[in-house]
Structure 1
């Protein structure tokens, strides 16, 4: 009646591994934002600090970047691109700021595109 092997890794390591797999599989592609820390903590039943530690692992690996005030970490690379021998790139604070602004603009464009599609549908029904 055993439950199988017990995962003895620290919770933040397990969460980092799961997020890394999600990034590699395309669930969170480059340019997308991971769920906010509070949501990840709720999903995994851990504290916000544990999630922060997991995100820091991914930051050190060059897979995500974070920005003060942002709702989640943004994916900037995939594990397979790292494994392919591409060196982890040191990104300047200026790059991180510009990248975050680009992500914000992309979000606005997605929302505008959705609104335009809705308007087209309404006008097309006339």
Structure 2
């Protein structure tokens, strides 16, 4: 274990080999799930999170990108990030082992909707960036 990094040890005493940004995203996801960070609240600033996790700002930004892509936070340039949703218990993309035909159809439609929303968010961010330059 590295001094000052208790999170370096996994649940079975093995070294945690996950990338730092993944660990930060996991910790923040837990904070949201346990409502330490509640839906509708603002996320602490990148500077505060960098100090909390003793990580570079770029690393924290990468972790926030993961949470943004999962739909857990919403961000706009120049504004604080907002907690948008609690994590689902099942990982995105995980379906039950033997889903019913109806579930499989609905699951597929949900995945299409999520992808559509992700693309729309990217387009909105691009539009926001272009209009900001004017």
Tell me which interval the TM-score lies in, with the shorter structure as reference length.
0.5 to 0.7
Aligned partner of 2:44 among 24, 32, 35: 35
TM-score normalised over the length of structure 1: 0.62
Matched, 1:80 2:88: yes
- Residue 5 of structure 1 deviates from its aligned partner by 2.2
Structure scoring higher RCO (CA < 8 A, sep ≥ 6) equals: 1
Paired with 1:34 and 1:73, the residues of 2 have a C-alpha distance of: 5
- Residue 80 of structure 1 deviates from its aligned partner by 2.5
Aligned partner of 1:47 among 46, 52, 56: 56
What's the counterpart of residue 14 of structure 1? Answer: 23
User: RMSD of aligned C-alpha atoms?
Assistant: 2.9
Paired with 1:14 and 1:83, the residues of 2 have a C-alpha distance of: 16
Query: What secondary structure does 1:80 align onto?
Result: coil
Q: Which moved more, 1:82-91 or 1:12-21?
A: 82-91
TM-score normalised over the length of structure 2: 0.59
What are structure 2's unaligned runs of at least 5 residues? 2-8, 93-106, 129-134
What's the counterpart of residue 71 of structure 2? Answer: 62
Aligned length: 93
